Amino acid sequence: MVVGAEEQLGRHVIRGIASVPVGTSIKQKLKTEFYEGAENNLPDYKAMETAEKIEKFLGEIVSPNDIVLFLISGGGSALLPAPVHGITLEEKLQVIRLMSTRGADIKQLNTVRIALSRLKGGQLGLKAAPAKAISLIMSDIIGDPLNLIASGPTVRCEESLENPIDILKQLDLLNEIPPYVLEYLKNQSPESLTDSKVEITNVVVGNNQFMLRTLADSFANSGIQSIVATEPVEGDATQVASKYVDFMLGASKLSSSKTSIGGLDSEFSTVHSPTIFIFGGETTVNFPRDINLSVAKGGRNQEMVLAFLKKLLELYKSEKKIPAAKLHFAFFSLGTDGQDGPTDATGALITSEDVPSSSEEIDVVLHEVDSSLKSKNSYGYWSKFNDGANHVKIGKTGNNLMDVQLLYVYV
């Protein structure tokens, strides 16, 4: 985003500052100063120091004739940590981690982040006054809610967010978060969400559907038939994986069951030639309360492909065996930012060639898959499976437009 902005604006750019993920590669010579932080997509002290630098940077703007260009992307919540006074970064991070293990979605996470931040929820944008401001936003949330993308640092909207206490109660976390944080949230008084001192235009310039259509265009240019899902995919990653297996079998006529996912119905999507189905959205991962977090490692995409493999193996093993020789497929689940969970993997893939054929091999693989799913260690499984060939690692992409799943089917 920064590279594109400087290329388009040229000499009009006076200076800039950017908080970017650890490992971001910037090859061009730019006027913008880059500061890395938020390793493993988690807020840290480096990112917090950069947030303070950004506050100072905006504090030096005094002219109403200046224009401030904000470039906001999904993932920005971790890159702009600025806890309210009296709450430490560790306490805030503890709350977010607990919420994540209980399957909180991005809207719930960012609502609580906003409540505990002095820059999110439009407060960063206020610091640009009296200059005019434009905020270009890449969305990583279903429905593109401006006030929640990256926790809405430049968006002061009239809509009231859900009460953070109600969210924590739904997740059964009221007795587990730090007492001072809970007390702060209970005593937080609602603020006016408008301010006449600042003039900001917020525009979504990219989202998941844009990403999916771009992929479809790329496949079309290569002569490959593809179908794009019209609705976002969300929910528990393991449960969604089961739907993908059912959809694949229905689309390949190996099952008569009707399955719908992402607005696509397998009953009407039967393929007669190689086809790639393109899905997108964002799922969640639920952790059992007795899980050993020191062993758990992975992300929603790696878990989804692992659960996909489990469901397929169980069907192969059952009495209603799938004629494996007739089914050719490849299933990918990938994070568009290049990072799936707090790992260096983008996601994983499984193909028909990777699935064992003998019942003895199926038993062995199924046991390992089940064990990895129960321990929430999908990363460890894909690191070893097929010598790591099914582990997708491409590095940081510089964008965050949620996740994408690709299902290739050929009978």
For 162-220, how does the pLDDT look when each residue is reduced to its tens digit (9 = 90+)? 899 999 999 999 999 999 999 999 887 545 444 556 689 999 999 999 999 999 999 99
Q: Which of 383, 401, 380, 385 is nearest to 393 (CA)?
A: 383
* Mean pLDDT of the region 90-94: 93
Query: What would the pLDDT profile of 312-329 be if each residue is shown by its tens digit?
Result: 999 888 865 565 556 889
Preceding peptide of 323 cis, ω within 30°: no
Mean pLDDT over all residues of the chain? 90
Residue 60 phi/psi, 5-degree rounding, is -90, -5
The pLDDT assigned to 270 comes to: 64
Q: Look up residue 347 and give its two tokens.
A: 């996601």
Angle separating helix axes 89-101 and 106-115, nearest 10 degrees: 160
The pLDDT assigned to 272 comes to: 66
User: At which residue do the structure tokens 């707090």 appear?
Assistant: 342
* Mean pLDDT of the region 215-239: 95
Distances from the Cα of 128 to the Cαs of 66, 92, 101, 284, 361, in angstroms?
A: 9, 26, 36, 35, 62
The rounded percent of the chain whose pLDDT value lies above 70 is: 93
> Domain 2-206 has what CATH class?
alpha beta
Q: Are 58 and 44 in contact (CB under 8 A)?
A: no
The pLDDT assigned to 193 comes to: 41
Helices assigned H by DSSP within 177-291: 179-187, 208-221, 237-251
Q: What does the domain layout of the chain look like in residue ranges?
A: 2-206, 208-410
Q: Which of 309, 313, 315 is nearest to 378 (CA)?
A: 309
Q: Are 392 and 343 in contact (CB under 8 A)?
A: no
- E strand map for 77-183: 132-138
Is the pLDDT score of 222 beyond 90?
A: yes
Helices assigned H by DSSP within 102-207: 106-115, 123-126, 164-170, 179-187
Q: Which of 42-46, 101-105, 322-326, 405-409 is predicted with the least confidence, judged by mean pLDDT?
A: 322-326
Residue 18's contacts (CB-CB under 8 Å, 6 or more residues apart) are: 2, 32, 33, 34, 35, 71
Give residue 226's pLDDT band: very low, low, confident or very high (50, 70, 90): very high
> If residue 380 lies in a helix (H) or strand (E), which one and from where to where?
helix 378-384
388: phi > 0 → left, psi -120 to 50 → alpha, else beta; which? Answer: left
Task: Please give the Cα distance from 398 to 338 (Å, whole number).
Answer: 8
3-state secondary structure of 199: strand
Is the pLDDT score of 160 beyond 70?
A: no
- E strand map for 249-384: 260-261, 264-265, 275-284, 328-335, 347-351
Query: What would the pLDDT profile of 250-290 be if each residue is shown by its tens digit?
Result: 888 777 778 899 999 887 766 667 899 999 999 999 888 88
The pLDDT assigned to 192 comes to: 42
Task: Please give the Cα distance from 50 to 82 (Å, whole number).
Answer: 10
Distances from the Cα of 273 to the Cαs of 245, 261, 270, in angstroms?
A: 18, 20, 9
Q: Look up residue 319 and give its two tokens.
A: 């009495």
* Mean pLDDT of the region 334-352: 94
Q: Look up residue 364 and give its two tokens.
A: 């062995």
> Domain 208-410 has what CATH class?
alpha beta
Query: What would the pLDDT profile of 392-403 be if each residue is shown by its tens digit?
Result: 999 888 888 999
Total-model pTM = 0.87
Residue 289 phi/psi, 5-degree rounding, is -65, -25
